[in-house]
Chain A
């Protein structure tokens, strides 16, 4: 189906990534945000607070991040499309509720505008410090989907996609921005509502008594959903549960439930991965990057190509699930992978795991606070090509 025109600000805009992400959420049908302010994500909720009364939804500034991250889940079970917006330290506080969203299969989008850590770090400086926090931060085994925009335009486009993914798969979906992407201002084209594809929640048609809140088939691992008030008398719990949603903490059921929850992402990883490649066909060196770093990397790749180095770019538009299979395919022809990141080396470990023993992997870390110098990545490429 298509976007509700009420939320779509069709036209050409000159706005920053935070504002573009907000517009993406509204276009995707998000009508409930519970927020707690934190730099550099705050502009998203500020814009949402200004826009939502005219669009027919609710914004509430909660008392803390824990409240915000669970209030959205209550609203999701009340029938709304919902979003959670924060940055590193706030995300740390929300981690238990990331697990709750996963085990209860609550559709929700989480925007993390990353800043430097650890702890308060550099609140106003860009970083890509949370790539592993979103993957591993909550206790237990869980799976998320994470998208990495590198421009305000992509902040719009990928936010719409994040909503569609969370409604499709019923796992928390992250938009991993950083301070630069959040605050840089560029042209953003917002399409007409009829040109924006929006995925509707998979509402059940079953009657009360027939419907099981977590009933699935082996072919379709994602259950149909209902909402409070529809007469199904559902039970939702963070405990290990059976198809009825009732607690069943037996060992076989723990294995069955967690197996399905993990499986619905792992088994479908191939259709989820999104790697944008440029000149990787003949590349000896492949630069793997994501987010704002990919734009700096592209400048370095151009300069290295000009010097005759066969170098290509593989940009992770979707970082989680990690495109391990594609990395393995690239490793058949490329000799070296260069991985610049605004952290001390996080996703580089995934590249290493994927291509272990086949190709060399070089990390180009950056502690954050600014983006990489082009020269730093260029010299890493030149060194790797020797």
Chain B
């Protein structure tokens, strides 16, 4: 860990053949995430997906909201935008529509994307906006100190649920599926290879892609609920996860330290917002319309 603090020892630090190195902003290391946090692991998978995709990195942009996962944008060597709380998706929508050649990835936390950003999440999926949305779900508001999130399962305590959470949590794959996402998957940070593969598929898929990544927050969620450290949570993911590709999303809800259904749940085709716009205007306006972004 100490080597990470010394940017002059780059070779020792990363190893010259480290495949994720080209995708990181080395001058931004060390990062702000706590020991045992799962965000960095998810980012590693994302970098491997970038490498495997063979895509032009100048044509990929990343947009984050606020919070621990919201800092992701700052560490990736891509055009990156750290926006306002909950509004990464509408920012990304504008970016995508202004420059349709870009692959725009939204990478943020569960609170950001599905509480304050819940409305935008639903509508972007409904419109089939061509975005890949990665949601790092650690069941809590990390940066503000461990408050209840819309994904917190029934039972665990949070600083704003000191007697245990009594609110029903979102089943995010079910929500994304119901709103019209064309690709929906869930993996944990134990499943780094499957996660990287899903992210690669997501990068190459056209339309609203949603990938949920279960990740530990040892500092707040785990400590408060006596769940051990990051490794203990990864062990839990390993022991209680069941891979069920194609599972009905209504059946994949999460409970406190209960079974976890992971896999690719949805993979379908639907015209994107831009495709629909171009097709519709082409039909009703004829020669007066020039295909946009084509």
In the complex where A238-B82, A246-B74 touch, is A80 in contact with B98 (Cβ < 8 A)? yes
A236 with B95: CB separation less than 8 A: no
List residues 80-130 of chain B with CB under 8 A from any CB of chain A: 80-84, 86-87, 89-99, 101-102, 119-120, 122-123
In the assembled complex, which residues on chain A have CB atoms less than 8 Å from the CB atom of B58? 229-231, 233
List residues 199-258 of chain A with CB under 8 A from any CB of chain B: 227-239, 246-247
| Nearest neighbor of A237 in chain B, beta-carbon distance | B82
- A162: shortest Cβ distance to chain B, in Å? 19
A97 with B285: CB separation less than 8 A: no
Q: Is B63 an interface residue (CB 8 A)?
A: yes
A238 with B83: CB separation less than 8 A: yes
Q: Is B232 an interface residue (CB 8 A)?
A: no
A228 with B87: CB separation less than 8 A: no
Interchain CA distance A246-B79 in the complex, whole Å: 12
| Nearest neighbor of A213 in chain B, beta-carbon distance | B79
Name A's interface SS. Answer: mixed
**B interface residues, how many (CB within 8 angstroms):** 45
In the assembled complex, which residues on chain B have CB atoms less than 8 Å from the CB atom of A237? 73-74, 81-82
A74 with B63: CB separation less than 8 A: yes
0/1 per residue, B63-86, Cβ < 8 Å to A?
100000000011001111111101
In the assembled complex, which residues on chain A have CB atoms less than 8 Å from the CB atom of B238? none
- A363: shortest Cβ distance to chain B, in Å? 36
A74 with B288: CB separation less than 8 A: no
Cβ-neighbour of A100 out of B84, B99, B285 (below 8 A):
B84
Interchain CA distance A71-B84 in the complex, whole Å: 11
B78 with A233: CB separation less than 8 A: yes
| Nearest neighbor of A6 in chain B, beta-carbon distance | B290
In the complex where A34-B94, A63-B120 touch, is A235 in contact with B73 (Cβ < 8 A)? yes
A247 with B87: CB separation less than 8 A: no
Q: Is B250 an interface residue (CB 8 A)?
A: no
Cβ-neighbour of B98 out of A74, A97, A232 (below 8 A):
A74
| Nearest neighbor of B293 in chain A, beta-carbon distance | A58
In the assembled complex, which residues on chain B have CB atoms less than 8 Å from the CB atom of A80? 98
Q: Is A78 an interface residue (CB 8 A)?
A: yes
B84 with A96: CB separation less than 8 A: yes
Q: Is A113 an interface residue (CB 8 A)?
A: no
| Nearest neighbor of B116 in chain A, beta-carbon distance | A66
In the assembled complex, which residues on chain A have CB atoms less than 8 Å from the CB atom of B81? 74, 77, 228, 235-237
B82 with A72: CB separation less than 8 A: no
| Nearest neighbor of B281 in chain A, beta-carbon distance | A53
In the complex where A74-B92, A78-B95, A228-B99 touch, is A233 in contact with B82 (Cβ < 8 A)? no
| Nearest neighbor of B99 in chain A, beta-carbon distance | A78
| Nearest neighbor of A81 in chain B, beta-carbon distance | B98
- B84: shortest Cβ distance to chain A, in Å? 5
A78 with B94: CB separation less than 8 A: yes
| Nearest neighbor of A208 in chain B, beta-carbon distance | B58
List residues 50-101 of chain A with CB under 8 A from any CB of chain B: 53-54, 56-58, 60, 62-64, 66-68, 70-80, 82, 96-97, 100
B97 with A70: CB separation less than 8 A: no
In the complex where A228-B61, A229-B101, A237-B82 touch, is A67 in contact with B285 (Cβ < 8 A)? no
In the complex where A54-B285, A63-B119 touch, is A76 in contact with B98 (Cβ < 8 A)? yes
B119 with A64: CB separation less than 8 A: yes
Interchain CA distance A213-B233 in the complex, whole Å: 40
B94 with A235: CB separation less than 8 A: no
Interchain CA distance A71-B87 in the complex, whole Å: 9
Q: Is B244 an interface residue (CB 8 A)?
A: no
In the assembled complex, which residues on chain B have CB atoms less than 8 Å from the CB atom of A76? 94, 98
B93 with A66: CB separation less than 8 A: no
**A interface residues, how many (CB within 8 angstroms):** 44
A56 with B292: CB separation less than 8 A: yes
In the assembled complex, which residues on chain B have CB atoms less than 8 Å from the CB atom of A58? 97-98, 277, 292
B290 with A56: CB separation less than 8 A: yes
Q: Is B166 an interface residue (CB 8 A)?
A: no
B79 with A66: CB separation less than 8 A: no
A32 with B292: CB separation less than 8 A: no
Cβ-neighbour of B288 out of A32, A54, A77, A100 (below 8 A):
A54
- B49: shortest Cβ distance to chain A, in Å? 18
A227 with B90: CB separation less than 8 A: no
In the assembled complex, which residues on chain B have CB atoms less than 8 Å from the CB atom of A230? 58
Interchain CA distance A54-B95 in the complex, whole Å: 21
In the assembled complex, which residues on chain A have CB atoms less than 8 Å from the CB atom of B277? 58
In the assembled complex, which residues on chain B have CB atoms less than 8 Å from the CB atom of A246? 27-28, 74
0/1 per residue, B267-289, Cβ < 8 Å to A?
00000010001000100010011
B80 with A235: CB separation less than 8 A: yes
Cβ-neighbour of B94 out of A32, A53, A100, A229 (below 8 A):
A32
In the assembled complex, which residues on chain A have CB atoms less than 8 Å from the CB atom of B73? 235, 237
List residues 228-285 of chain B with CB under 8 A from any CB of chain A: 273, 277, 281, 285
Q: Is B59 an interface residue (CB 8 A)?
A: yes
In the assembled complex, which residues on chain B have CB atoms less than 8 Å from the CB atom of A62? 90, 93, 123
- A198: shortest Cβ distance to chain B, in Å? 18
- A135: shortest Cβ distance to chain B, in Å? 20
Interchain CA distance A70-B288 in the complex, whole Å: 30
Interchain CA distance A82-B86 in the complex, whole Å: 21
In the assembled complex, which residues on chain A have CB atoms less than 8 Å from the CB atom of B122? 63
| Nearest neighbor of B94 in chain A, beta-carbon distance | A74
A32 with B97: CB separation less than 8 A: yes
A63 with B123: CB separation less than 8 A: yes
29 A-B pairs, CB-CB below 8 angstroms?
A53-B288, A53-B289, A54-B285, A54-B288, A58-B97, A60-B273, A62-B90, A63-B120, A64-B119, A67-B87, A67-B123, A71-B97, A73-B83, A74-B92, A75-B95, A77-B95, A79-B98, A82-B94, A96-B84, A227-B99, A229-B59, A232-B79, A233-B79, A233-B80, A235-B25, A237-B73, A238-B82, A246-B27, A246-B28
Q: Name the 8 nearest CB pairs between A and B, nearest first.
A: A78-B98, A74-B94, A71-B94, A75-B94, A67-B90, A74-B95, A237-B82, A75-B98
